[in-house]
């Protein structure tokens, strides 16, 4: 939600129910039901007009620096856009949910990397990096870089925290023709790394204004790196109109708010909430050819609309695959999974989207699998206290939060989700509800593998979560923390679980990435600025499929809190039980099995291969005691490669011949 700051739209009566902890009223409010039954269980997308990309062929560090006035940088006010429904309550008041019924087994790993990201007042190529509130911080990790996005800029870092390039959205698109992406980029940015294509995707939306109101046409701007190097390799730039009008498509004048993305073997998938002004019109869903995007070809894509109130859906998020090894990819032909939180009951809704013809056509199964969840009280949004002020912070309600990771381990396929909920049966805090959903073999289980409303104590609010899962099935959850007492300024923390831990628990206990040093006390839009987030982002490093990277916002001092100069932080950590054996990138062979990929360390098989070379990810440092072993029976001339200390690029195997192998591993 781009949207820099918001007015207090929630009714004062509602505020009275949640701002003070234990509310006395437990009335059951009404719920929305569809006004008419859909005529079909399947909604078909429409093929969209192909789009020829613009190009950026220079080094990003060559983009010009120029200062803009703060009035030109901070966008016109827009309120937070919320779903059109009366908040839901459980029929029976639940028992207090704290403390959680487990004993912490160990603290989470300490950060191996912990460095500052962009601040609101930083200068990027093109002007001031920050463009208002909230900052929408999120990012992703690649083999050699971490890219951070905020409203309205991107920053590229080395993995040790060196800032390599930073630039505004408009500056990247400054030579991309006559469309809103060039000059009217408005944020809601998302960073996606594609581990299959070794490419980066930066996307945000764009539109003009009519006075303070967003104005058609509404665009999604998708930039795709031409190479694995996001700094020097160049970019393809695709401006895509999102409100084309027409049967089954978003009407002209509908804004694609809160866009979310998921990378899949066939397409880049997207969903967004559709608003005309403050009126909710439904949910957009779309698919873009991954191969077209990454080759710079004319883009094949398709889009559809689930109109409200025919369909009562809000904030669908496409699943995004983790890992690039053959064993971790979705099975061939597997649909993408779009997940949402029910507006009418207590369940996660899982729908499937399938495409064909290079993502030019698609279908969405409208009737969801309803995955049961623990009941809770709806959190109204503006609910989190801070020390030294009466200003509360917004949680964006109980909508799902990004991302929805898909993780395949053996034959088990899972989706992982998190959102913010509230319990008012005792001293009330906002807390994350997370779950693992089984989708093995394409069958969506209606009972979660595990879930939990995470409440390690009754004092801190924990909200704006994001989670991910490593190759062994270990999970990490990052979030903001705060309460009204010193020293608990809004801070950044993370918790997690090992795959061997009892189901439904996070016994790898909370570790703080950075302690906040101030509360957000500035005004915006003529009222106290309550916007926080609206995103955070937990990712897994594709170079080892073990290391987690997390980013979100905080304030480092009271003075920056009073001026609204938000800060971001980027941290990385890894469970010691996860073997970072993700060192082999490609095994080159001759004959029938030429070019086998081994992106995550081990390949297995029973065929005779003539192994010619092994390519490693860069920056792999091994001492002389390490070697590459060809496991199983092998020709003696191919027994090992020994004695290298700093491997970068390709190691050629000495000798020739074939090997009947059981795997390749780093030992």
- Could you report the per-residue pLDDT of 444-468, keeping only the tens digit for each? 999 999 999 999 988 999 999 999 9
pLDDT reading at 68 higher than 50: no
Per-residue pLDDT at 279 = 93
pLDDT band of residue 638 (cuts 50, 70, 90) is: very low
CB-based contact 555:116 (threshold 8 Å): no
Q: In whole angstroms, how far apart are CA 485 and each of 353, 387, 390, 519?
A: 46, 5, 11, 11
Q: Are strands 106-107 and 508-514 parallel, antiparallel or unpaired?
A: parallel
Taking residues 296-307, what's their average pLDDT?
A: 98
pLDDT reading at 632 higher than 50: no
Q: Which residues pair with 539 in a beta bridge?
A: 549
Query: Each residue of 218-240: pLDDT tens digit?
Result: 999 999 999 999 999 999 999 99
Q: Are strands 584-590 and 567-573 parallel, antiparallel or unpaired?
A: unpaired
Q: In whole angstroms, how far apart are CA 452 and each of 50, 90, 235, 243, 350?
A: 44, 17, 41, 38, 18
CB-based contact 641:654 (threshold 8 Å): yes
Helices and strands per DSSP (H, E), number in the chain: 5, 46
Examine the domain organization and report whether 458 and 591 are in the same domain: no
pLDDT reading at 399 higher than 80: yes
Per-residue pLDDT at 91 = 63
Question: Which of these three, 547, 573, 599, is where a domain ends?
Answer: 573
Examine the domain organization and report whether 199 and 273 are in the same domain: yes
Per-residue pLDDT at 60 = 96
Of the two residues 69 and 299, the one the predictor is more confident about is 299
Residue 196 belongs to a domain = yes
Residue 294 belongs to a domain = yes
Question: Which of these three, 573, 608, 639, is where a domain ends?
Answer: 573
Task: Report phi then psi at 506, rounded to 5.
Answer: -120, 70
> How far is the C-alpha of 140 from the C-alpha of 154, rounded, in Å?
11
DSSP H stretches of helix in 243-316? 290-295
| Domain tally, the chain | 2
Examine the domain organization and report whether 157 and 266 are in the same domain: yes
Per-residue pLDDT at 417 = 98
pLDDT reading at 607 higher than 50: no
Residue 244 belongs to a domain = yes
Per-residue pLDDT at 639 = 35
Taking residues 479-490, what's their average pLDDT?
A: 97
CB-based contact 144:618 (threshold 8 Å): yes
CB-based contact 417:13 (threshold 8 Å): no
Residue 246 belongs to a domain = yes
Query: Residue holding tokens 């695959």?
Result: 321
The share of the chain scoring above pLDDT 70, in percent, equals 75
pLDDT band of residue 327 (cuts 50, 70, 90) is: confident
Q: Mean pLDDT in the chain?
A: 81
Examine the domain organization and report whether 488 and 357 are in the same domain: yes
Residue 4 belongs to a domain = no
pLDDT band of residue 525 (cuts 50, 70, 90) is: confident
pLDDT reading at 549 higher than 90: yes
Question: Which of these three, 551, 573, 595, is where a domain ends?
Answer: 573
Per-residue pLDDT at 112 = 94
DSSP H stretches of helix in 220-305? 290-295
Of the two residues 647 and 294, the one the predictor is more confident about is 294
Examine the domain organization and report whether 87 and 181 are in the same domain: yes
pLDDT reading at 92 higher than 90: no
Per-residue pLDDT at 122 = 97
> How far is the C-alpha of 592 from the C-alpha of 289, rounded, in Å?
29
pLDDT reading at 584 higher than 70: no
The share of the chain scoring above pLDDT 90, in percent, equals 67
CB-based contact 191:595 (threshold 8 Å): no
Of the two residues 100 and 521, the one the predictor is more confident about is 521
Residue 395 belongs to a domain = yes
> How far is the C-alpha of 537 from the C-alpha of 515, rounded, in Å?
18
Per-residue pLDDT at 635 = 32
667 by Cβ neighbours in 10 Å (0-12 / 13-18 / 19+) ranks as exposed
Q: Which long-range contacts (CB under 8 A, 24 or more apart) does 66-73 make?
A: 66/126, 66/127, 67/123, 67/127, 67/128, 68/126, 68/127, 68/128, 70/128, 72/127, 73/127, 73/128, 73/130, 73/131
Residue 121 belongs to a domain = yes
Across 63-67, 181-185, 409-413, 576-580, least confident range:
63-67
Examine the domain organization and report whether 323 and 455 are in the same domain: yes
Residue 2 belongs to a domain = no
Examine the domain organization and report whether 561 and 653 are in the same domain: no
pLDDT reading at 585 higher than 50: no
Per-residue pLDDT at 595 = 36
Examine the domain organization and report whether 487 and 593 are in the same domain: no
Examine the domain organization and report whether 143 and 283 are in the same domain: yes
pLDDT reading at 165 higher than 60: yes
Examine the domain organization and report whether 473 and 601 are in the same domain: no
pLDDT band of residue 425 (cuts 50, 70, 90) is: low
Per-residue pLDDT at 435 = 98
Per-residue pLDDT at 376 = 86
Across 76-90, 144-158, 257-271, 311-325, least confident range:
76-90
Examine the domain organization and report whether 460 and 380 are in the same domain: yes
Examine the domain organization and report whether 122 and 231 are in the same domain: yes
Range of the domain at 655: 584-666
Q: Are strands 153-158 and 113-119 parallel, antiparallel or unpaired?
A: unpaired
Taking residues 134-157, what's their average pLDDT?
A: 96
Per-residue pLDDT at 94 = 53
pLDDT reading at 38 higher than 60: no
CATH number of residue 184's parent domain: 2.130.10
Taking residues 255-259, what's their average pLDDT?
A: 97
Of the two residues 381 and 216, the one the predictor is more confident about is 216
Taking residues 279-294, what's their average pLDDT?
A: 97
Per-residue pLDDT at 665 = 35
């Amino acid at each position: 939600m781009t949207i820099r700051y918001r007015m207090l739209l929630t009714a004062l009566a509602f505020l009275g129910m949640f701002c003070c902890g234990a509310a006395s009223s437990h009335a059951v409010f009404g719920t929305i039901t569809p006004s008419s039954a859909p005529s079909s269980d399947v909604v078909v997308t429409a093929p969209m007009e192909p789009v020829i990309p613009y190009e950026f062929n220079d080094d990003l560090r060559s983009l010009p620096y120029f200062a803009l006035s703060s009035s030109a940088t901070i966008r016109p006010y827009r309120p937070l856009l919320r779903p059109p429904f009366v908040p839901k309550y459980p029929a029976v008041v639940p028992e207090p949910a704290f403390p959680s019924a487990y004993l912490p087994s160990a603290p989470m790993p300490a950060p191996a990397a912990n460095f500052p990201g962009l601040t609101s007042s930083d200068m990027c190529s093109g002007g001031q990096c920050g463009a208002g509130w909230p900052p929408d911080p999120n990012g992703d990790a690649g083999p050699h870089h971490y890219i951070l996005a905020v409203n309205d800029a991107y920053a590229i870092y080395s993995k040790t925290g060196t800032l390599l390039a930073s630039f505004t959205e408009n500056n990247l698109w400054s030579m991309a023709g006559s469309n809103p992406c060039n000059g009217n980029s408005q944020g809601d940015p998302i960073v996606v790394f594609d581990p299959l294509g070794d490419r980066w995707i930066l996307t945000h939306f764009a539109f003009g204004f009519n006075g303070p109101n967003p104005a058609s046409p509404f665009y999604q701007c998708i930039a795709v790196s031409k190479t694995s190097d996001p700094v020097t390799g160049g970019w393809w730039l695709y401006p895509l109109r999102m409100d084309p009008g027409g049967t089954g498509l978003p009407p002209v004048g509908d804004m694609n708010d809160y866009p979310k993305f998921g990378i899949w073997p066939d397409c880049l998938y997207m969903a967004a909430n559709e608003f005309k002004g403050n009126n909710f019109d439904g949910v957009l869903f779309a698919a873009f050819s991954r191969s077209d995007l990454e080759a710079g070809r004319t883009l094949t894509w398709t889009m559809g609309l689930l109109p409200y109130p025919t369909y009562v859906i809000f904030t669908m998020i496409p699943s995004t695959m983790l890992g690039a090894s053959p064993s971790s990819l979705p099975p061939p032909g597997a649909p993408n999974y779009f997940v949402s939180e029910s507006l009418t009951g207590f369940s996660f809704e899982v729908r499937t989207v399938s495409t064909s013809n290079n993502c030019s056509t698609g279908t969405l199964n409208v009737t969801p699998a309803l995955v049961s969840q623990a009941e809770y009280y709806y959190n109204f949004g503006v609910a989190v206290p801070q020390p030294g002020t009466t200003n509360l912070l917004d949680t964006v309600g109980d909508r799902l939060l990004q991302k929805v990771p898909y993780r395949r381990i053996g034959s088990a396929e899972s989706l992982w989700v998190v959102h913010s909920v509230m319990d008012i049966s005792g001293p009330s805090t906002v807390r994350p509800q997370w779950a693992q959903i089984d989708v093995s073999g394409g069958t969506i289980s209606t009972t979660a593998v595990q879930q939990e409303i995470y409440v390690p104590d009754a004092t801190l609010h924990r909200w704006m979560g994001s989670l991910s899962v490593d190759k062994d099935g270990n999970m990490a959850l990052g979030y903001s923390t705060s309460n009204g007492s010193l020293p608990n300024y809004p801070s950044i923390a993370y918790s997690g679980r090992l795959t061997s831990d009892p189901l439904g628990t996070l016994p790898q206990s909370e570790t703080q990435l950075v302690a906040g040093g101030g509360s957000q006390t500035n005004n915006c839009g003529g009222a106290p600025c309550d916007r926080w987030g609206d995103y955070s982002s937990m990712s897994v490093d594709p170079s080892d499929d073990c290391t987690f990277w997390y980013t979100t916002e905080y304030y480092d001092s009271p003075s920056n809190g009073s001026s609204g100069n938000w800060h971001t932080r980027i941290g990385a950590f890894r469970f010691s039980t996860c073997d970072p054996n993700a060192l082999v990138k490609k095994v080159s062979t001759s004959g029938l099995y030429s070019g086998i990929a081994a992106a995550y360390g081990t390949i297995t098989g029973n065929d005779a291969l003539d192994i010619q070379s092994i390519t490693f990810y860069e920056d792999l440092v091994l001492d002389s005691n390490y070697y590459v072993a060809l496991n199983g029976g092998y020709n003696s001339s191919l027994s090992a490669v020994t004695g290298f200390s700093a491997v970068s690029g390709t190691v050629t195997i000495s000798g020739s011949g074939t090997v009947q192998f059981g795997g390749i591993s780093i030992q």
